[in-house]
Amino acid sequence: MECEICGRQMHRGERIRLEGATVTVCRDCASMGTRMGPAYEPRPVERSVKRTPDRRKPEEEIVPECASRVHLARERLGITQKELAERLNEKESVITRIETGRMVPPISLAHRLERKLEITLVAVLEEEDVGPLKSHDAPLTLGDVVKVRKRG
Ligand SMILES: [Zn+2]
């Protein structure tokens, strides 16, 4: 068996698609076309829509600064309350009431606002966490300290 492109003798060719034709070529020439072998299966990128239902997190709580956060984030985007309402499929009056603090949005709406405005409105109360001041950084080990120390 020989490569249909370079003519080299080979034990096992690779089938590729080249300019509309399927040819059997050696490994070196396989890169010239699109591999057809069973190993190559172009898969569409699966975008799984992950949705965690709101009800699974009963400890979720709307932050007290919700009103001002929504207000500031909306102004940053340069859109009106009406436009924001339309994007969320809500009534303009709902946005008005949320921004003025007359209404606390339900968690589901708060999550949608978070996504649209790229802000945080929902605080998750985790039992393991001791207070909001908890640092996410791992404590420095002696080795880290030595590495950080400047020389000369
Ligand atoms: Zn070849």
CATH code linked to domain 55-124: 1.10.260.40
CA of 43 to the centre of ligand 1 (A): 27
Domain boundaries in the chain? 1-39, 55-124
Which residues keep their CB under 5 angstroms from ion ligand 1?
A: 3, 5-6, 8, 25-26, 29
Cα of 2 from ligand 1 centre, angstroms: 8
Residue-level pLDDT, tens digit, the chain, 152 residues: 899 999 999 888 899 999 889 999 998 999 999 887 654 445 566 566 665 555 554 688 999 999 999 999 999 999 999 999 999 999 999 999 999 999 999 999 999 999 999 999 999 876 654 555 545 566 666 666 555 555 55
- Give the Cα separation of 122 and 55 in Å (integer): 13
Rounded Cα distance between 64 and 104, Å, is: 9
Inter-residue contact 33 to 42 (CB < 8 Å) = no
pTM, entire model: 0.46
